[in-house]
A and B are shown apart, each in its own frame.
Chain A
């Protein structure tokens, strides 16, 4: 049962344009959401997060939007740069027994074309 889904395995965007990566989840108990970026031959690195009490969080070129009613979150990258080409994972966590349990999505491979 995939509780966190990234339905687009890949996305291509022109440099300078907006990249929008989407993520859907099924567990309404998730209370924290994160995005990670992964380059080949490296481990994922944390990018940005959002608490379930917010609907938007911004950090430079990266903005994450959360729509709890639709159980949907998205990552916007503006403007997109070739260095943003990577696999992006969304993750969701829920408190369990005093600590958070994290579930990752399947990833979306972003290619930014110069």
Chain B
């Protein structure tokens, strides 16, 4: 069974630009969560989708948005990029409707650098 895939793996953007990251969950998984990892901040929860609906959202500004498609693939968009958005963005999928109590399977992440 293929794991969680994320594209692209690396991305360099400049301030003010916008970016879209993609995540394909494990086949059959309907819950997809997004996290931002920065040094010293750990994994900060962005949002979670289940069956194309956003069920939960973290404390990030409205510049961060996402969506999920009918095949459970998910995209995350960041508009008007700031230097502080430079981070590793991780996607995780889960087979459980709960999306969190059971183990999540993470992708390798997309390393975003904002110049």
How far apart are the CA atoms of A6 and B98 in the complex, in Å? 25
Contact with B along A34-45 (1 / 0, CB 8 A): 101000011111
In the complex, the answer to whether B55 meets A99 with C-beta atoms within 8 Å is yes
The residues of B that contact A99 with a CB separation of less than 8 Å are 50, 55-56, 97-100
What are the residues of chain A within 8 A of B84 when measuring CB–CB?
none
- Rounded to whole angstroms, the CA-CA distance of A102 and B104 in the bound complex is 10
When the two chains form the complex, which single residue of B33, B40, B99, B104 contacts A106, counting CB atoms closer than 8 Å? B40
Interface size class of B (residues with CB under 8 A): 20 to 34
User: Knowing A43-B108, A45-B106, A104-B35 touch, does A89 contact B43 (C-beta < 8 A)?
Assistant: yes
CB proximity of B54 to chain A, nearest CB, Å: 12
Per-position 1/0 for B90-115, Cβ under 8 A of A: 10100001111101111111000000
Interface size class of chain A, counting residues whose CB lies under 8 Å from the partner chain: 20 to 34
Question: Residue on B with the closest CB to A97?
Answer: B55
Question: Which of the residues A43, A89, A98, A103 comes within 8 Å of B4, measured between beta carbons?
Answer: A43
B106 contact from A43, A96, A103, Cβ within 8 A: A43
Out of B35, B50, B100, name the residue touching A101 (CB < 8 Å): B100
* B60-115 with Cβ < 8 A to chain A: 90, 92, 97-101, 103-109
User: Is there contact, CB below 8 Å, between A43 and B107?
Assistant: yes
Contacts of A97 in B (CB 8 A): 55
Residues of chain A contacted by B98 (CB below 8 angstroms): 95, 98-100
B40: A residues at CB distance < 8 A: 9, 106
Query: A residues engaging B (CB < 8 A)?
Result: 6, 9, 32, 34, 36, 41-46, 49, 89, 91, 93, 95-107
Interchain residue pairs with CB less than 8 A apart (19): A36-B106, A43-B92, A43-B109, A44-B90, A45-B106, A46-B104, A89-B42, A95-B101, A99-B56, A99-B99, A99-B100, A100-B100, A101-B100, A102-B33, A102-B100, A104-B42, A104-B43, A104-B44, A106-B41
